[in-house]
A and B are shown apart, each in its own frame.
Chain A
Amino acid sequence: EIVLTQSPGTLSLSPGEGATLSCRASQSVSSRYLAWYQQKPGQAPRLLIYGASSRATGVPDRFSGSGSGTDFTLTISGLEPEDFAVYYCQQYGYSPPYTFGQGTNLELK
């Protein structure tokens, strides 16, 4: 089972600043099957990025994903007030199990 480790656990920033979130896998993630989700309090996760770098429908272009192998990054350029949330990475593919990182809490400074 692939273990995903996200860092930092909490990131305190102000609107307008840029955010860099990291997701490291315990083994190589095949075919770049790595997704990022955003979750706000009391809400379900929302797909942001799939295939490590493809934005889901309706996701603003200030969100971008990069990486391959075992190291992946979610970058948010120019934080908007609605971006403060918890972000999870996930590895997926044909064969489960699917695993999620422990999350990065992006909080308002």
Chain B
Amino acid sequence: QVTLRESGPALVKPTQTLTLTCALSGFSLGTSGMCVNWVRQPPGKALEWLARIDWDDDKYYSASLRTRLTVSRDTSKSQVVLTMTNMDPADTATYYCARINRVGDSRSWFFDLWGRGTQVTVSS
């Protein structure tokens, strides 16, 4: 079964660093054409794209959050990790990882599969 599953702390304090893990099952980020994105959604608000990591280890970040984000991968563990520094209550959101699968179709840059999300609250 092809899935993504996010995990991480439910509560972090302001100024702390958040570390989230996305576990991949049924596919490998090492396969040419695969990418994994991070997207967040504050309560009652719209989706916001944060970062992307590709099969060849290329990385892309939201311009507004670039200085606070790092995305990395552990292909052997089938995991993608997102770290966000200097957390603020405004970062309270559900964080999702989502796949881009361009295997067999180079134009398929859409997010075809999403994890269920992990809720993060920033509060002292």
Contacts and interface: CB of A to CB of B under 8 A. Distances in A.
Interface of A: 1, 31, 33, 35, 37, 43-47, 50-51, 56, 88, 90, 92-103
Interface of B: 37, 46-49, 52, 60-63, 96, 98, 100, 107-117
A99 to B, nearest CB: 7
Task: Name A's interface SS.
Answer: loop
Contacts of A101: 46
Nearest to A6: B46
B112 A56 contact: yes
Given A98-B37, A102-B46, A103-B46, A92 B111 contact: yes
A18 to B, nearest CB: 25
Contacts of B63: 1, 97
Contact of B112 (A44, A47, A94, A103): A47
B110 A44 contact: no
